[in-house]
């Protein structure tokens, strides 16, 4: 009959599970015995000499005194294991030292976690659900109840790096799947865990923008900038800096647009007339808006290149500006009038053409400007 697996959990406070029993060492007579078990498990693939164990746990003692303390601790360790229903010979004596008995099936969460993350880093594709499960396995720092012991430090740091790599891989997948809320939530925890990872801030800010949380995105950049400057004397990289300035420009532009385009019953109708560079920025904002909300808008282009009357284009812009709504935008560039009709689609094109024909009749145009209508969605 196959031996039952003994499971050890060290990602966070240490405990073991065997035959539906959980052993966390809180009732053990000797804490040192519990820590000795943790050390042997960490080095379970080799024999540990008595001398090495004395150096680790009783560095202030001479060798003979240290060995006596070791033998007594091993005795207390085995007594505690028996009392908790765990085989005492899981810790075996081997010619002047000790090791974990390989006749038992041993599973540790830290080895499993490291192996799985390494598979991902080598290119193996994991589902989002598998990545979430792996993430949940990491309850906290490795051997968190022994955070001040030197022998845990290297393993703890390696596992921290793997945990952060896992967050990076998971959040990239979530972002690609347009799950921006979970992207933000996982990255928030990642930034709390390691506030110096600039790539976390970059994706975090992008996801916040997708959720329309612009103020939070700007504040997150400022937090990153402050931490890097104060702690590392560095400035955010070019990519993060570029994203921040695009967001800041968009926000300032949005505020400017709101000042001009408030659709309220107390505001007179009429489109916003602006320079073409402002029109282009409004167009880019509107593109992102319709993509996020799956709506549409109309882009209208009136070409006056062949019209001889040089003043007619300005009259046309004034005419259409008065006819349009407060949410619409109009601009002149290179003998062309560009009009953005907010929230409209081809179903409204009849109204547009009717107003165009009314304009041509009003000014008795023998030659009409060419018209191009596009629905953007």
Each residue's pLDDT tens digit, 256-312: 555 544 443 333 447 788 888 888 888 888 887 777 677 888 898 988 887 777 678
Query: How far is it, in rounded angstroms, from Cα 226 to Cα 238?
Result: 16
- Could you say which DSSP state residue 230 is in? I
- Give the per-residue pLDDT at 166: 97
Question: What are the pLDDT digits (tens) for 41-85?
Answer: 999 999 999 999 999 999 999 999 999 999 999 999 999 999 999
- Return the SS3 of 338: strand
CATH topology of domain 109-252: 1.25.40
Q: Contact 323/307 with Cβ under 8 angstroms?
A: no
- Give the per-residue pLDDT at 158: 95
For the ranges 185-194, 292-301, 307-316, 349-358, the maximum mean pLDDT occurs at 185-194
Question: What are the pLDDT digits (tens) for 137-183?
Answer: 999 999 998 988 889 999 999 999 999 999 999 999 999 999 999 99
Q: In CATH terms, is domain 272-376 a member of 3.40.50.300?
A: no
Question: What are the pLDDT digits (tens) for 126-140?
Answer: 999 999 999 999 999
Q: Please write down the long-range contacts of 171-180, taking CB distance under 8 Å and 24 or more positions apart.
A: 171/200, 171/203, 171/207, 172/203, 173/128, 173/131, 174/128, 175/203, 175/206, 175/207, 177/128, 178/210, 180/207, 180/208, 180/210, 180/211
Q: Contact 296/344 with Cβ under 8 angstroms?
A: yes
| Orientation of helix 198-210 relative to helix 214-227, angle to 10° | 170
CATH 1.10.10.10 domain locations along the chain? 6-107
Q: Is 80 exceeded by the pLDDT of residue 374? A: yes
- Give the per-residue pLDDT at 297: 87
- Using CB atoms within 10 Å of the CB of residue 69, give its burial: 0 to 12 exposed, 13 to 18 middle, 19+ buried: middle
Q: Contact 298/320 with Cβ under 8 angstroms?
A: no
Query: How far is it, in rounded angstroms, from Cα 235 to Cα 232?
Result: 9
- Give the per-residue pLDDT at 172: 96
How much of the chain, in percent, has pLDDT values that exceed 90? Answer: 55
Q: What is the mean pLDDT of residues 350-361?
A: 77
pLDDT band at 3; cut points 50, 70, 90: low
Q: What is the mean pLDDT of the chain?
A: 87
- Return the SS3 of 92: strand
Query: How far is it, in rounded angstroms, from Cα 283 to Cα 175?
Result: 25
Query: How far is it, in rounded angstroms, from Cα 138 to Cα 155?
Result: 14
- Give the per-residue pLDDT at 263: 41
- Give the per-residue pLDDT at 312: 80
- For residue 128, what are its two tokens? 């989002």
- Give the per-residue pLDDT at 255: 59
- For residue 244, what are its two tokens? 């921040």
Question: What are the pLDDT digits (tens) for 226-246?
Answer: 998 888 888 888 889 888 888
CATH 3.30.70.270 domain locations along the chain? 272-376
- Give the per-residue pLDDT at 22: 94
Q: Contact 307/332 with Cβ under 8 angstroms?
A: no
CATH number, span 6-107: 1.10.10.10
Q: Is 70 exceeded by the pLDDT of residue 122? A: yes
CATH 1.25.40.10 domain locations along the chain? 109-252
pLDDT band at 349; cut points 50, 70, 90: low
């Amino acid at each position: 009959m196959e031996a039952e697996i003994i499971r050890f959990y060290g990602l966070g406070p240490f405990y073991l599970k065997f035959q539906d029993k959980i052993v966390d060492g809180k009732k053990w007579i000797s804490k040192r015995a519990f820590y000795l078990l943790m050390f042997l498990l960490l080095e379970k693939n080799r024999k540990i000499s008595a001398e090495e164990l004395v150096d680790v746990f009783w560095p202030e003692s001479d060798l003979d005194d240290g060995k006596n303390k070791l033998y007594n601790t091993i005795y207390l360790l085995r007594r505690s294991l028996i009392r908790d229903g765990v085989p005492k010979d899981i810790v075996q004596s081997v010619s002047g030292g000790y090791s974990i008995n390989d006749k038992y099936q041993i599973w540790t969460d830290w080895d499993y976690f490291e192996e799985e993350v390494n598979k991902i880093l080598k290119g193996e594709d994991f589902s989002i659900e598998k990545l979430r499960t792996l993430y949940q396995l990491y309850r906290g720092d490795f051997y968190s109840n022994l955070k001040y012991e030197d022998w845990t430090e290297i393993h703890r740091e390696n596992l921290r790096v793997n945990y952060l790599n896992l967050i990076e891989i998971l959040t990239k997948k979530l972002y690609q799947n347009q799950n921006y809320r979970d992207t933000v939530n996982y990255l928030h925890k990642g930034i709390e865990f390691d506030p110096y990872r600039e790539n976390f801030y970059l994706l975090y800010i992008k996801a916040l923008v997708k959720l329309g949380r612009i103020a939070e995105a700007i504040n997150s950049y400022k937090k990153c900038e402050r931490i890097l400057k104060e702690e590392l004397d560095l400035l955010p990289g070019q990519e993060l800096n570029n994203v921040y300035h695009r967001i800041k420009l968009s926000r300032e532009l949005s505020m400017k647009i709101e000042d001009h385009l408030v659709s309220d019953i107390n505001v007179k109708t009429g489109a916003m007339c602006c320079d073409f560079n402002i029109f282009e920025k409004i167009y880019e904002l509107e593109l992102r808006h319709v993509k996020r909300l799956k709506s549409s808008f109309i882009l209208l282009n009136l070409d006056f290149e062949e019209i001889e009357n040089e003043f007619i284009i300005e009259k046309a812009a004034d005419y259409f500006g008065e006819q349009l709504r407060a949410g619409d935008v109009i601009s002149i560039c290179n003998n062309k009038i560009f009009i953005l009709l907010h929230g409209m689609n081809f179903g409204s094109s009849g109204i547009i053409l009717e107003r165009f024909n009314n304009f041509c009749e009003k000014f008795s145009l023998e030659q009409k400007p060419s018209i191009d209508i596009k629905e953007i969605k």
